[in-house]
Chain A
Amino acid sequence: MDYFLTEEQQMIREIAAKIATEKVRPVRAELDESEEFPWDIMKILAQSDLFGVYLPEEYGGSGGGVLENCLAIEEMGRACISVATTFAASGLGAYPILLFGTEEQKQKYLPPIASGEKLAAFGVTEANAGSDAGGIQTTAKRDGDHYVLNGTKQWITNAGEAEIYTVVAMTDRTKGARGASAFIVEKGDPGFSFGKKEKKMGLRASATRELLFNDCRIPADRLIGREGTGFIVTMKTFDVSRPGIGALGVGLSQGALDISVEYARKRVQFGKPIIAFQAVQHMLADMATETEASRVLVYAAARYIDSGAKDISKISAISKLYPTDVAMRVTTNAVQVLGGYGYMRDYPVEKMMRDAKILQIYEGTNQIQRNIIGQELNKEYGRIKETFF
């Protein structure tokens, strides 16, 4: 399929694909087993300018947008979504600064993120606040020209490895979600530390830790936007980051499909390669169809967001929901196509199936995506005065 990508977009895809094939694929099983943070690969991605593909040139990026980011993420995800998530999570940490930061904040924090010299991370989730961001208990209290943060963030991707954190804390608990504010916290800030590294079902090379704030004092100019806009910052950040999760789904599905078709052409049973059996053929056909449909959706959503459109919440949620549900199905079927081999750790689809599950959970569970889509439908149709009957 030709998606009519620009020359620069094609280059991003080529570079990411080359790194994925030559540097990620050979080590993915080892990274999964050892749970080692992929610093070597992050350095290669930095050297290849991929961390800046979605950032403006004035901040050291190459001036692309969500689509450029998705292309890089997809190609890396084709080899390993642990590595691709580590990359994408830095973008998630950068988006609040890009979207709502002051000029000074952008000048200070975005160039090292664009060059890959520093990783970023985004911290919203807590033990009692996941889908319901209104339940955030971490507080930020103004004290002169500082804020003092207290509380614990949970399951934060890149925590401990990243240098720059965007964190949501309550500046006014009486106001619920409207009392939340977003801040930039740097590794090394007084009172800021990390919890133990979590052991996970999949995505094992990606680092997941707690962020611990114990009277963490940060200068007041670390506030992103105004006090009380933390929830808006979070929602708008997810609006532009979610197609990236969709892209992880597309890459993962493609990676599983690649292996499944290659295997089905070689595996001989009853005297024929199993791809000759319609039962297998139809499985592969469905996997290919859903993967391509996911890709079309992610690219279209990314292009729409990059056009500067404002009504992006629904399409953004759709572009996360569908490709990630597909990735779960496609990787499960990849294991089925490979049969006993598929279930063995010696073959890559077992890891792919374990990895796929997180895509339906993080950056808003797929149930929350359906809520967003449903609510947007209700609003959209509420505005229409005519009838369709």
Chain B
Amino acid sequence: MHIVVCIKQVPDAKNVRIDPETNTLVRQGVDSIVNPHDWYAVEAALLLRDEYGGKTTVMTMGPPQAEEALRETLALGVDEAVLLSDRAFAGADTWATSLTLARAVEKLGPVDLVICGKQAIDGDTAQVGPGLAAHLDQPYTTYGRRLELVNGDQLRVERLTDFGYEVVQMALPAVVTVVREIGDPRMPGLKHKMRAKKLEIPTWGAVDLDLNPEEVGLQGSFTQVVKVFSPPPRSDREMITGEVEEQAEKLFNLLRAGKVPGL
């Protein structure tokens, strides 16, 4: 069984702020980390490999320094890694990103399962996993909390919903995105870390994936970010105090003054 995990390097959200003048993210001096949701994808892949055997490959699209993110996951015991890096990939939206990732999955040869985190903490779209499945023309399931191989060619997924969970079974090859309930990512191991340090990681560009410049990056994107801004601070709040009856009275009057229908 060959499992591919797609990860993303993102700015550490703890330190990100938005420049109030320009409304852009201040990236200077902000560390890059592996998207926290992607660690669960890595753990999900390793759990499956531990149980059923096979190989795991981690993949990311990003600038050359995203290789560091790949090595971090290799330290947990992932077998192989591929970096998709090319100036032409810059500015990609979820369509162009998932297309590029899909071509890379195809280039890796027969892949049984692609696992992604449920979403990235910078874009928060949760679209790349499903987009990848669309480009690969494969079935997909999102928000997996437990994965189980059935009959060797089917994946049974417990899919987390707002009201409990659904059990979905789909034929492999397929794509699944996973949530935190998969289980905490394991700790790095010394032997894996030593190996991760030395492992040769191939870098693939648009040419290696047989993609034209107009299919990738900003050119291959259907959407563009027009503006990033912080929501205006909310100062129009009032704390209602006093005895419960008193509070109810005040609230009622406020609602009525605000012309809430029915009051």
Contacts and interface: CB of A to CB of B under 8 A. Distances in A.
24 contacts: A7-B197, A8-B190, A8-B194, A11-B193, A11-B194, A11-B197, A12-B190, A14-B188, A15-B193, A18-B187, A19-B187, A22-B187, A23-B187, A47-B187, A47-B189, A48-B187, A48-B188, A48-B189, A48-B190, A49-B189, A49-B190, A49-B191, A49-B192, A62-B190
Interface size class of A (residues with CB under 8 A): 10 to 19
A198 B81 CA distance: 50
Nearest to A52: B190
Contacts of B190: 8, 11-12, 15, 48-50, 53, 62
B135 interface: no
A44 interface: yes
B17 interface: no
B107 interface: no
Interface of B: 186-194, 197
The 9 tightest CB contacts between A and B, nearest first, are: A49-B190, A48-B189, A49-B189, A11-B193, A48-B187, A49-B191, A19-B187, A44-B187, A15-B188
Nearest to B197: A7
Interface string A40-54: 000010011110010
A115 B189 CA distance: 11
A8 B189 CA distance: 12
A15 B197 contact: no
Interface in A15-72: 15, 18-19, 22-23, 44, 47-50, 53, 62
Nearest to B77: A47
B25 to A, nearest CB: 27
Contacts of A12: 190
Nearest to A18: B187
Contacts of A50: 190
Contacts of A23: 187
B185 to A, nearest CB: 10
Nearest to A23: B187
Nearest to A11: B193
A140 to B, nearest CB: 37
B127 to A, nearest CB: 30
Contacts of A7: 197
Nearest to B193: A11
A14 B189 CA distance: 10
A253 to B, nearest CB: 25
Contacts of A19: 187
Nearest to B192: A49
Most chain B Cβ neighbours within 10 Å, of A12, A19, A48? A48
A11 B75 CA distance: 10
A11 B195 CA distance: 12
Interface string A191-214: 000000000000000000000000
A287 B191 CA distance: 35
Contacts of A22: 187
Nearest to B190: A49
A77 B186 CA distance: 21
A48 B188 CA distance: 6
Contacts of A8: 190, 194
Contacts of A62: 190-191, 194
Contacts of B197: 7, 11
A49 B195 CA distance: 13
A47 B188 CA distance: 8
Contacts of B189: 15, 47-49
A14 B72 CA distance: 12
A149 to B, nearest CB: 36
A12 B190 CA distance: 7
A48 B192 CA distance: 9
A53 B189 CA distance: 11
Contacts of B194: 8, 11, 62
A8 B190 CA distance: 8
Contacts of B186: 44, 47
Given A18-B188, A47-B187, A62-B190, 11 more contacts: A11-B193, A11-B194, A12-B190, A14-B193, A15-B187, A15-B189, A18-B187, A44-B186, A48-B188, A49-B192, A62-B194
